[in-house]
């Protein structure tokens, strides 16, 4: 079987739902800037050389509908021969797209492909515009459709993840992200068009375009004390708050993959190999525990241990589930592995979704871009990204740096 190489991985900034820079920017435009950015950062390769674009999206409807993978290929100026598709595995959709394109390259079905993810949580609401769960399943298994925040409360209660632990973890997420932004560490970000519609003097509506090049949800002023004052938002007497949950965010990401034959043909140096991918099912009413089971599964596939992994990106859907997953993996109690200021940290080095946002269908590709940037910058051999997945699943992928 052939190797699948990651050549370029980029993302747009993550911007706050409704209040952020991308609130009036259509998802197709965000995605166009991401896929075009991936090509522009790959000298020697043109859009004509890309065979297929596969995009992850949690709610592929309305402005995100009509097969946005093909739509963005046409909007971005790829030739008619470049095909496109859209895939949905909820929170791991963007990672699923990478795994599927890697599989096609490994099997010899493709040589140059783009994977990616998109979610405008401003324009297409969480759950979609017209959710219609099957009535029989809602009676037999209502937890399939329960609010994600309630599943986070379940994890906190069942596994004794108290409020203090959640708030402390969230504080460090913001501090790491603020430090990374200040130091210019988010080199995977491509400047992205932000549209704003305003009324002109004559009453006509005009579109103003600016460029956004930073994540606008990071709160460097956050303190553990300020987090502790927030009220729970999902359950009376609960511990899950807006401050220890991921931010709803708009964003897109794109990852360019190639076979070894293509790398030689275009004389391009790859960054990493896509090595393994694993998914697993867990109880839907505690879906957040997914990484605690997906990561051991992928380590077994690879014949590695947790200690062999140099860096992790574990999606912070909620602090409760991230902390629990890290506990199960042996990564939590040694705070030097994840707290801001430590030179030993290996989990969410530049912060996570609590500070940077979780544009759900995009997150799998976004985390890949962040992870690969860190691996390349620091010369780290093995990196894993993982996330919990709505409906009761977990997903994980292993990347290996090309020396």
pLDDT tens figures, 127-167: 999 999 999 999 999 999 999 999 999 999 999 999 999 99
Query: Per the domain annotation, does 145 fall within a domain?
Result: no
What is the SS3 assignment for 139-159? Answer: HHCHHHHCCHHHHHHHHHHHC
For residue range 241-281, list pLDDT tens digits in order: 999 999 999 999 999 999 999 999 999 999 999 999 999 99
Mean pLDDT of 31-47: 98
CB–CB of 239/152 below 8 Å?
Answer: no
Cα 148-383-244 angle, rounded to 5 deg:
30
| CATH number of the domain that residue 255 is part of | 3.40.47.10
For residue range 76-93, list pLDDT tens digits in order: 999 999 999 999 999 999
With cut-offs at 50, 70 and 90, classify the pLDDT of residue 326.
Answer: very high
Identify the domain containing residue 13 by its residue range. 5-125+183-189+245-397
Q: CA of 376: how far to CAs of 202, 263, 264, 273, in Å?
A: 52, 18, 20, 12
Domains: count for the chain:
1
Rounded Cα–Cα distance for residues 176 and 197 (Å): 34
Mean pLDDT of 227-241: 97
pLDDT, position 172: 98
Query: Per the domain annotation, does 267 fall within a domain?
Result: yes
Query: Per the domain annotation, does 177 fall within a domain?
Result: no
pLDDT, position 403: 87
Query: Per the domain annotation, does 240 fall within a domain?
Result: no
The catalytic position among 57, 91, 110, 362 is 91
Query: Per the domain annotation, does 178 fall within a domain?
Result: no
Query: Per the domain annotation, does 30 fall within a domain?
Result: yes
Query: Per the domain annotation, does 138 fall within a domain?
Result: no
Question: Pairing between strand 112-120 and 249-258?
Answer: antiparallel
Residues whose CB is less than 8 angstroms from the CB of residue 27 and which lie 6 or more positions away in sequence, other chains included? 63, 64, 68, 118, 119, 120, 123, 124, 250, 252
Query: Per the domain annotation, does 342 fall within a domain?
Result: yes
350 is annotated as an active-site residue: no
For the chain, what percent of residues have pLDDT higher than 70?
100
58 is annotated as an active-site residue: no
Mean pLDDT of 377-384: 98
List 212's β-bridge partners, or say none: 192
362 is annotated as an active-site residue: no
Mean pLDDT of 23-33: 98
Question: What single string gives the DSSP state of each residue in 373-391?
Answer: HHHHHHT-SEEEEEEEETT
């Amino acid at each position: 079987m052939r190797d699948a190489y990651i050549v370029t991985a980029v993302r747009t900034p993550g911007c706050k739902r409704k209040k952020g820079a991308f609130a009036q920017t259509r998802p197709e435009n965000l995605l166009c800037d991401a896929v075009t950015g991936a090509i522009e950062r790959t000298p020697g390769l043109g859009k004509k050389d890309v065979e297929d674009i596969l995009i992850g999206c949690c709610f592929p409807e309305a402005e995100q509908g009509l097969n946005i993978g093909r739509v963005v290929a046409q909007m971005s100026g790829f030739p008619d021969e470049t095909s496109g598709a859209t895939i949905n595995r909820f929170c791991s959709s963007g990672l699923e797209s990478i795994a599927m394109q890697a599989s096609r390259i490994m099997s010899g079905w493709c040589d140059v492909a783009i994977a990616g993810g998109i979610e405008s949580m401003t324009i297409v609401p969480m759950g979609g515009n017209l959710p219609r769960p099957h009535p029989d399943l809602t009676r037999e298994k209502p937890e399939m459709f329960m609010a994600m925040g309630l599943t986070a409360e379940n994890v906190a209660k069942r596994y004794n993840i108290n409020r203090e632990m959640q708030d402390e973890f969230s504080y460090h997420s913001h501090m790491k992200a603020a430090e990374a932004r200040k130091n210019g560490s988010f080199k995977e970000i491509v400047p992205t068009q932000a549209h704003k519609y305003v009324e002109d003097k004559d009453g006509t509506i005009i579109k103003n375009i600016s460029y956004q090049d930073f994540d606008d949800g990071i709160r460097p002023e956050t303190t553990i004390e300020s987090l502790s004052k927030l009220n729970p938002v999902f359950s009376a007497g609960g511990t899950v708050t807006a401050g220890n949950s991921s931010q709803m965010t708009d964003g897109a990401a794109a990852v360019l993959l190639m076979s070894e034959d293509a790398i030689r043909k275009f004389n391009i140096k790859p960054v990493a190999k896509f090595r393994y991918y694993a998914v697993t099912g867990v109880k839907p009413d505690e879906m957040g525990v997914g990484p605690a089971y997906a990561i051991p599964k992928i380590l077994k596939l690879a014949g590695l241990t947790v200690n062999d992994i140099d860096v992790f990106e574990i999606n912070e859907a909620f602090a409760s589930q991230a902390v629990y997953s890290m506990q199960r993996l042996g990564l939590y109690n040694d705070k030097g592995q994840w707290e801001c200021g430590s030179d030993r940290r290996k989990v969410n080095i530049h912060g996570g979704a609590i500070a940077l946002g979780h544009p759900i269908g995009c997150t799998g590709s976004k985390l890949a871009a962040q992870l690969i940037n860190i691996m390349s910058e620091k010369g780290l051999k093995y990196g894993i990204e993982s996330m919990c997945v709505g409906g009761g699943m977990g997903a994980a992928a292993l990347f290996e740096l090309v020396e």
